[in-house]
Amino acid sequence: MSTTFVNEPLLELRRAPVREELLRALAGLDAELPLAVGVLAGPDAAVGPRETFDSTDPGMPSRVVAVAQTATDADVDAAVAAARAAFPGWSARTAAQRAEVLRRAAALLRTDRRRLAALAVRECAKPWREADADVAEAIDFLEYYAAAAQELERGPHLVKVPGERNELRYVARGVTAVVAPWNFPLAIPLGMVAAALAVGSTVVLKPAEQAPACAHAVVDALLRAGVPAGAVNLVPGFDGPARRLVRHPDVHTIAFTGSEAVGLDILQAAAVPAPGQRHLKRVVAEMGGKNCIIVDGDADLDEVVPAVVRSAFSFGGQKCSAASRVLVHERLAEALVQRLAGAVDALVVGQAEDFATDVPALIDEDSQRRLLEALAQAREEGTVIAQAGPVPRDGWFVAPTVVGGLRDGSTLVARELFGPLLTLEAVADVDEACDLVDASSSALTGGLFSRNPRTVDHVVQRSPVGNLYVNRDITGAMVGRHPFGGNRLSGTGTKAGGPDYLLQFVEPRVVVENTMRHGLVV
Ligand code: NAD
């Protein structure tokens, strides 16, 4: 990209004044709870009472963070109509004009960053470090896609011959439906929305039911920055509004991030044109992972142990990129088990607002139940190698656990669990580990620890994953530095935060003009 892009720096949490500012922002937010989140469906949408649902603090479920309206079918239709009506005006602006608005939104997020981080702490139990990174990533997406859209507008170079003018332009496809998850409650919805807006699309956002207030905050910043009413809309709710939205005939592009099951359902629904629909929908689907870290026999455990622990347990393993399976060379297996046990034992499970917390509550009761069931299965089929504790009683906490000795074919090593459960298997060599990775239908992230450059090259050749990390943590992709997205059933292969991402939201149009004039028009 010709425009220089720089990642937003993270706050320095080790400094006491920074921590005090964050706690003041949290106290200010607490005084305003519960927040009200309404449907935003264009300037002419009906206002008035609707059914509501609560988003609550996962660490203290009695605390209501937001009361959100549930978008009705009529709201979804109104939001799509508003987005359609706003499309000609927004798409007619130049990329530079749209970029200016997105950069203003980034500046607003920067000003509000402490309060936004506090909101992610409360609504999703994101520990401060992760919550701050979420805000920084949201800023990055706005600025990166703003610049990338300007680059895209310049168009690619085509072969020139005398007497012919050839041009390839990328044009916004139309209304984009964005369906978002809760685990990056600011960055992921805003990233998908920003990409669509940057190229001239207008948007209807269906946020995760667990995090409507975070989504409302980013939409609010976009509107304050100057995105016209109608160009971005918000339809909160559970799956109902999302199902209607993705099936709507006036939606051209669907940007989805979430689970494999829902992604497959959306891909299927989008494949069937609705009556009156005159275009094919394009689906950008970023889905789940079953991410493995391979530890070769020459790896340095001083590096491996903290990286594995952070990759598996930060934010309670609730990142699509999180490590859930370690495949370790049998020569190192026993030493790694011992070292991991010590490291896991030292993890602090607690409230997200405590700066000492490593592992917060899981997002909701369903997640807690799913992980407790998986733990019971793990105890039956294998051996618990390490478990942190104690865990607070209120809130959706689950103790971070490492399990070994699982029987062949256990579903625990195949299924995404999305929580603080890590399995460990010994392998004879790196090729056996690669075979196990290759047998998986997921291919999102992966990791390798090895000191041998030839082994590194070999695993790079064999690895099917979208993002492979060598000798480091496997989470924490940075916009512009580590374009992110999975292959196989983990996604449609696009890379968020990378140079190709915007191509999903545009259609190419080529104009070929004969410039050899024959006579004059009079
Ligand atoms: P989810 O699939 O349950 O929900 C995501 C969104 O889809 C929510 O807004 C939900 O309301 C909506 N939805 C539910 N049913 C729907 C349907 N039938 N049709 C349309 N929309 C529907 O996922 P989640 O629990 O919010 O997030 C966790 C999942 O997201 C994990 O699997 C994780 O790996 C994945 N994830 C992937 C990435 C990535 O970049 N690959 C990033 C973050 C999260």
Distance from chain centroid for Cα 109: 18
pLDDT in tens, the chain (522 residues): 656 899 999 999 999 999 999 999 999 999 999 999 999 998 877 777 899 999 999 999 999 999 999 999 999 999 999 999 999 999 999 999 999 999 999 999 999 999 999 999 999 999 999 999 999 999 999 999 999 999 999 999 999 999 999 999 999 999 999 999 999 999 999 999 999 999 999 999 999 999 999 999 999 999 999 999 999 999 999 999 999 999 999 999 999 999 999 999 999 999 999 998 999 999 999 999 999 999 999 999 999 999 999 999 999 999 999 999 999 999 999 999 999 999 999 999 999 999 999 999 999 999 999 999 999 999 999 999 999 989 999 999 999 999 999 988 899 999 999 999 999 999 999 999 999 999 999 999 999 999 999 999 999 999 999 999 999 999 999 999 999 999 999 999 899 999 999 999 999 999 999 998 776 666
Say if ligand 1 is within 6 A of residue 416 CB: yes
Question: What spacing in Å lies between the alpha carbon of 132 and ligand 1's midpoint?
Answer: 22
What's the Rg (C-alpha) of the chain?
A: 24
Please report the pLDDT score of residue 519 as a whole number: 65
Residues 6+ apart with CB under 8 A from 367: 318, 396, 418, 419
Q: Which ligand 1 atom is the nearest neighbour of the CA of 181?
A: 26
Structure tokens at 444: 């999102």
275 burial via Cβ count (<10 Å: 0-12, 13-18, 19+)? exposed
Atom 23 of ligand 1, residue of closest alpha carbon: 258
Q: Which two tokens stand for residue 408?
A: 């062949």
211 alpha carbon to ligand 1 midpoint, in Å?
12
Residue 442 Cβ contacting ligand 1 at under 6 Å = no
Residue 288 Cα, ligand 1 centroid: separation in angstroms?
8
**How remote is the CA of residue 53 from the centroid of ligand 1, in Å?**
18
pLDDT at 521: 64
Residue from 320, 353, 425, 434 carrying the catalytic annotation? 320
**Pocket flag, ligand 1, residue 76 (CB < 6 Å):** no
Residue 262 Cβ contacting ligand 1 at under 6 Å: yes
* Ligand 1 binding pocket includes 189 (Cβ within 6 Å): no
Tokens of 502: 């915007």
Alpha-carbon distances of 171 from 102, 160, 502, rounded to whole Å: 18, 22, 11
The number of C-alpha atoms within 13 Å of 71 and in the hemisphere containing its C-beta is 34
Q: Is 492 exposed, middle or buried (0-12, 13-18, 19+ CB in 10 A)?
A: middle
Residue 439 Cα to ligand 1 middle (Å): 24
Res 84: pLDDT: 98
> Which residue, by CA, sits nearest to atom 14 of ligand 1?
239
SS3 content of the chain, % helix, strand, coil (to 5): 40, 20, 35
Whether 124 is a known active-site residue: answer: no
* Cβ 288 under 6 angstroms from ligand 1: yes
Query: Ligand 1, residues 183, 291, 363, 478: which to mutate, most atoms within 8 A of Cβ?
Result: 183
Position 493 scores a pLDDT of: 84
Catalytic member of 8, 137, 286, 416 = 286
286 is catalytic: yes
pLDDT at 44: 79
Q: Is 489 in the pocket of ligand 1 (CB under 6 A)?
A: no
Whole-number Cα distances in Å, 42 to 98, 208, 228: 19, 20, 9
Kindly give the distance from the C-alpha atom of residue 519 to the centroid of ligand 1, in angstroms, as a whole number: 61
**CB of residue 200 inside a 6 A radius of ligand 1:** no
The CB of 124 under 6 Å from ligand 1? The reply is no
Going by C-alpha positions, the residue among 111, 357, 80 that lies closest to residue 230 is 80
With a 6 Å cutoff on the Cβ, whether 243 touches ligand 1 is: yes
Task: Name the residue at shortest CA distance from atom 30 of ligand 1.
Answer: 258
Q: What is the pLDDT of residue 331?
A: 97
Shortest-distance atom of ligand 1 to CA 484 = 40
Report d(CA 223, CA 444) in Å as an integer: 33
